[in-house]
Amino acid sequence: MFRLITGRPGPSGFGSASTAEQVTHDIDGSNLTAIVTGGASGIGLETARVLAMRNVHVIIAARNMEAANKAKQCILNDNKNARVDVEKLDLSSIRSVKTFADNFKALDLPLNILINNAGIMFCPFQLSEDGVEMQFATNHLGHFYLTNLLLDKMKETAKSSGIEGRIVNLSSVAHICPYKGGIRFQKINQKNSYQNKLAYAQSKLANILHANELSRRLQVIN
């Protein structure tokens, strides 16, 4: 926690004060393709910008296509040689996630990096079109399903290219303070006990558990 607050570098030489450009210095991603969910703004946009700067082919996956196209143009204004495409993705909708995955596969592109970045936080209680509490649906279930749909593509890319892929789940230190007892699987949609900050933390804890289990299973495969 001290390093997080102060930005003091860790064993890697980087810390919370390090910029994306510093971390990726001297990296050439010309042979890489990455999907960045929520790449139209905030951390996602900065991630997409710097990956494109390092010659990675970036797919910005976003719910708001107007914002996504503006983000693409912003990147191209700074880097006319950037390879950036946009695809519609609403992570709160299982139907939209499936459509996005199908559309991406139809492009017949490799997939080296999947950055599950998009998310919402502290919103009032509401259900997704699939009947799931919105923060849990968007922050966790959408990314969980997307990852499962694209995992075989990533394995194929790694096998054919010889380059090990990466799946990144963006979480938050808030994961340490969800509802008492952790994830309330039996009460995800319970409105009368809903607390927006705890529900957000619950979804972030789910992100970390998902990442940990993915790491365990993929290491076994390798």
Which residues have a catalytic role annotated?
194
What end-to-end distance do the CA atoms of the chain give, in Å?
Answer: 32
| 47, 39 Cβ separation under 8 angstroms | yes
User: Which two tokens mark 1?
Assistant: 């926690």
CB 52, CB 83: distance < 8 Å = yes
b vs e for 71-107, b when ≥16 Cβ sit within 10 Å of the residue's Cβ? bbeebeeeeeebbbbbbebbbbbbebbeebbeebeee
